[in-house]
Every structure is written in C-alpha cells, then in structure tokens.
C-alpha cells in the first residue's frame, strides 16, 4: 500500500484528489495539509511514502517545504501537482529533489501513474512540461528574469510577491532578517524592480504567483 499525504491550500482540491485516489486499491490517503509548514510536520509525524505537493501556498511554499522535508527524510517521494508549469519552477522543484512534476490539468490516470512511479523510486515529468524545459534549453537565454535567481532568492521572491514582510520570511525559512534583506536586494537587482508592487506585477506576468496578495 502506498501511503499518501495531500498538501494544497484549497480544501476542494484536496477532497477531489482524495476521491480519485480512493478508487485505487494500492493507494491510501492518510492525511491532508493546507500549507508548507503542515507538509513539513506531516512528513515528520506520518512518514508517508508519497506527498502530493502544491507550489504556491500561504506562508512556506512547496519549494521550501520540499527542500526541508527531503533534507531530513530523503525517502519521502514528492509529486508536485500544481498550476505553475512555467520556468523556472519545474526545474527548481526537480533540483530540490521532487520525483515528479505534473499539472493540475492532468487526467486521473497520469496522476496515478506519477504517484506509482515516485513510490518505486522512479521519476515522472508531464510531457508538456518536459517539452517546455527542453525548448528552454535550445532557445538560448531566457526572457524570464526569475530564472537568474538562485533557489533561495526565488523562494524569497515568491514570498515577497505574496505580500509577506521580511521578518515573516526570516521566521519561516529559518534565516536572519539581515540575510533575508540581502536576498531581497539581490531579487530586486536581478529582476530590475524597485518595490514589491513592481515585483508582484512581474511575478504575475511570468506565472510565479497566480493571485493578488495582501500588499
């Protein structure tokens, strides 16, 4: 039996996925979480075989949660299931150790295939995402300024774009406020923005975030 935890900040999404997986005799959803922080806690307490992980969530994102979970529990399989399919997030999530990256627009058989692949130690990448990543390699320099960010800078950029204060970010990702301020400066410099409103507009344009935050 493959023991699964679903992490998504929308309860209807979690319920829908659980309903799909409940039809499979070898899959069992053992719990749900609504944030990256809950994902980290549930991974530690329940030690699931696979976690379905969204990317954009309140507070700690799926990217940060994946890195922290796999640092202490490398045996947990992470299946990223998200609406964010544009670069640089797919590549960064895979670099963080995720075993699969698929779109929320996928059909149920593809979701089940990805879960089973990751549970047995394989990787799975949705065909459209694999094609997008391959085209990015052969197309030369990207026009997406977020691809120039390091993984940590990208994480900070996502949180800033969601309207989080540097002090909140520092607490969530276990960094000093001074270090977060340095990352913020680098994000602004590399993306050529001067404030959080400009960063939000840029993040929306490139699909880094999908909703208006509390700025």
> Which of residues 108, 136, 164 is at a domain's end?
136
Beta strands in the chain (DSSP E): 2-7, 27-33, 50-53, 77-82, 100-103, 124-125
Say whether both 22 and 115 belong to one domain.
yes
- 110, part of any domain: yes
Say whether both 9 and 70 belong to one domain.
yes
Say whether both 12 and 98 belong to one domain.
yes
Radius of gyration of the CA atoms of the chain, in A: 17
Could you list the pLDDT tens digit for every one of the 215 residues in the chain?
Answer: 999 999 999 999 999 999 999 999 999 999 999 999 999 999 999 999 999 999 988 888 999 999 999 999 999 999 999 988 888 899 899 999 999 999 999 999 999 999 999 999 999 999 888 887 777 667 656 678 999 999 999 999 999 998 899 999 999 888 999 999 999 999 999 999 999 999 999 999 888 887 654 43
- 198, part of any domain: yes
Grouping H, G, I as helix, E, B as strand and the rest as coil, residue 123 is coil
**Cα–Cα distance for residue pair 40/28, rounded to 1 Å:** 19
- 112, part of any domain: yes
* Tokens 């990217």 found at: 63
The model carries a pTM of 0.89
Domain with 126, as residue range(s), is 2-136
Say whether both 99 and 188 belong to one domain.
no
Say whether both 173 and 191 belong to one domain.
yes
pLDDT at 58: 83
Say whether both 101 and 175 belong to one domain.
no
Say whether both 123 and 153 belong to one domain.
no
Say whether both 131 and 162 belong to one domain.
no
């Amino acid at each position: 039996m493959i023991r699964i935890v679903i992490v998504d900040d929308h309860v209807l999404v979690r319920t829908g996925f659980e309903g799909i997986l409940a039809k499979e005799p070898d899959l069992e959803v053992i719990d749900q979480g609504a944030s990256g922080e809950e994902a980290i806690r549930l991974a530690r307490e329940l030690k699931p075989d696979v976690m379905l992980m969204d990317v954009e969530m309140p507070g700690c994102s799926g990217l940060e949660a994946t890195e922290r979970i796999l640092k202490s529990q490398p045996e947990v399989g992470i299946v990223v299931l998200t609406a964010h399919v544009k670069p640089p997030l797919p590549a960064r999530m895979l670099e963080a150790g995720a075993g699969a990256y698929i779109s929320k627009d996928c059909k149920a058989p593809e979701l089940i295939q990805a879960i089973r692949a990751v549970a047995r130690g394989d990787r799975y990448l949705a065909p459209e995402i694999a094609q997008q990543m391959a085209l990015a390699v052969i197309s030369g320099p990207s026009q997406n300024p977020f691809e120039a960010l390091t993984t940590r800078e990208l994480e900070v950029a996502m949180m800033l774009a969601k309207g989080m204060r540097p002090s909140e970010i520092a607490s969530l990702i276990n960094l000093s406020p001074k270090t977060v301020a340095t990352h913020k400066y680098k994000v602004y410099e590399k993306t050529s923005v001067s404030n959080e409103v400009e960063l939000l507009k840029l993040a929306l344009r490139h699909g880094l975030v999908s909703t208006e935050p509390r700025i």
